[in-house]
């Protein structure tokens, strides 16, 4: 497993660890993963960023980092020579792409002197990401590789199942088959063919129809998918990771859009390229605006031209809608806004150009046609929340009560000050 893949798994596992009540055995994974997420939200792709202490605090909140954790995480990043921290709490960070963030996340994890149980938890997920495997086969490999006792192996599988590092199906009372949501991020055509051959003829026809539509448009509303497959078949295929479910929401409504797991594969492994779900957020927010928001203050006639301009480092605007419609992307520092000094309108600049390039791939050249990206009007409706495919795929997990959230408006004021 290379360092980028390991970094992606660390961030993947960290998200799941945060959803359970206790996971003391995997504290080094969580620490490294939070360092990676925080670093990503601090950094632009190319430029050095100088961020004042108020904005650093806001970025920590967006990164789901508690007040009691922030100093430890900043210190760890400083020790790794990834950021500089001034006495007043301001942070200076160089430009980092998603790929470099993943590599640094892996290095931080190794520097924490992780236990063999933690290393095995990462390897377990990677081992079953290409094809489902029986427990006995995986257990023998992990036990030999990491010198784990029978008791430690039992603990590994129990915790991995409960936290959600892996999924499983019981073949009978004695055998379990382990897999995860990455099955269709590699060799998707071959695996889809295998699934089709296992379905009834009418189900196979429906899946073929939906697959063709996704290849053409890149992103589809869940209601359309349900009308083609039906709820039962769609849920069945979601559970094995055949489709990615992307949820975006604002104060008025929540919408779910479907993409193919392999849609972000132009530049390499889709699991690694968008491990932080930022490109998926970008695509989902734009698609929401094209389909569900009212006509108004920021009409975009050619989305692909706009995205190309942003990816090339140019500023777009000014428009009133820019200051209101991309709040989640602004909070994640995918974009940066600048207020026009003579009006209430804003300019937009892309900070994470690699994320913009991935989003453009799906909206234009990868899976979408020009018909879908040149709508009559464009208004993104202030998308303020996003839940990624793996979050949507997990149904039966113990979760903590959600913490009360700071007002999005308050965070945005901090970012724009």
Rounded Cα distance between 355 and 48, Å, is 17
Q: Answer yes or no: are the C-beta atoms of 261 and 184 closer than 8 Å.
A: yes
Q: Answer yes or no: are the C-beta atoms of 382 and 289 closer than 8 Å.
A: no
Rounded Cα distance between 404 and 311, Å, is 35
- List the beta bridge partners of residue 255: 248
Q: Would you place residue 376 in the very low, low, confident or very high pLDDT band (cuts 50, 70, 90)?
A: very low
pLDDT on residue 368: 32
Q: What is the pTM of this model?
A: 0.76
Burial (0-12, 13-18, 19+ Cβ within 10 Å), 242: buried
Q: Would you place residue 227 in the very low, low, confident or very high pLDDT band (cuts 50, 70, 90)?
A: very high
Is the pLDDT at 325 greater than 70? The verdict is no
pLDDT on residue 185: 58
Highest mean pLDDT among 60-69, 106-115, 175-184: 106-115
Is the pLDDT at 5 greater than 80? The verdict is yes
| pLDDT tens digits for range 32-89 | 999 999 999 999 887 888 999 999 998 999 898 988 999 999 999 999 999 999 988 8
Helices (H), 18-134: 27-42, 53-62, 70-79, 98-111, 116-127
Helices (H), 128-177: 135-146, 150-163
Beta strand 220-221 with 316-319 is unpaired
Is the pLDDT at 233 greater than 90? The verdict is no
């Amino acid at each position: 497993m290379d360092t980028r893949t390991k970094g992606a798994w660390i961030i993947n596992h960290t998200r799941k660890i945060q959803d359970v009540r206790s996971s003391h055995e995997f504290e080094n994974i969580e620490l490294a993963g939070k360092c990676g997420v925080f670093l990503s939200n601090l950094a632009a792709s190319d430029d050095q960023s100088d961020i004042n202490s108020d904005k650093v605090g806001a970025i920590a909140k967006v990164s789901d980092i508690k007040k009691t954790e922030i100093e430890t995480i900043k210190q760890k990043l400083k020790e790794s020579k990834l950021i500089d921290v001034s006495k007043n709490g301001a942070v200076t960070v160089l430009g980092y792409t998603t790929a470099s963030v993943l590599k640094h996340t892996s290095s931080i994890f190794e520097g924490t002197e992780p236990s063999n149980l933690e290393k095995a938890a990462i390897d377990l997920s990677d081992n079953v990401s290409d094809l489902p495997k029986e427990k006995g086969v995986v257990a023998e490999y992990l036990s030999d590789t990491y010198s784990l006792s029978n008791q430690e192996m039992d603990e590994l599988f129990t915790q991995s199942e409960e936290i959600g590092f892996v999924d499983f199906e019981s073949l009978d009372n004695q055998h379990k088959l382990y897999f995860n949501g990455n099955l269709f991020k590699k060799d998707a055509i071959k695996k889809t063919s295998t699934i089709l051959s296992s379905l009834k003829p009418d189900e196979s026809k429906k899946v073929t129809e939906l697959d063709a539509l996704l290849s053409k448009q890149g992103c589809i509303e869940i209601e359309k998918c349900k009308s083609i497959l039906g709820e039962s078949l769609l849920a069945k295929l979601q559970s094995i990771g055949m489709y990615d479910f992307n949820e975006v929401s604002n104060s008025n409504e929540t919408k779910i859009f479907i993409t193919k797991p392999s849609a972000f594969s132009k530049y390499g492994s889709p699991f690694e390229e968008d491990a932080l779900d930022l490109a998926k957020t970008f695509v989902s927010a734009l698609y929401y605006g094209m389909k569900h928001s009212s006509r108004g203050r920021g009409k975009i006639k050619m989305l692909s031209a706009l995205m190309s301009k942003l990816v090339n480092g140019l500023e777009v605007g000014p428009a009133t809608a820019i200051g209101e419609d991309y709040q989640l992307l602004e909070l994640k520092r995918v974009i940066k806004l600048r207020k026009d000094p003579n009006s209430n309108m804003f300019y937009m600049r892309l900070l994470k150009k690699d994320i913009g390039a991935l989003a453009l791939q799906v909206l234009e050249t990868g899976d979408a046609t020009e018909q879908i990206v040149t709508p009559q009007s464009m208004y993104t409706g202030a998308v303020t929340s996003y839940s990624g495919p793996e979050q949507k795929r997990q149904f039966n997990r113990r979760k903590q009560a959600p913490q009360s959230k700071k007002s999005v408006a308050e965070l945005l004021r901090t970012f724009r000050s």
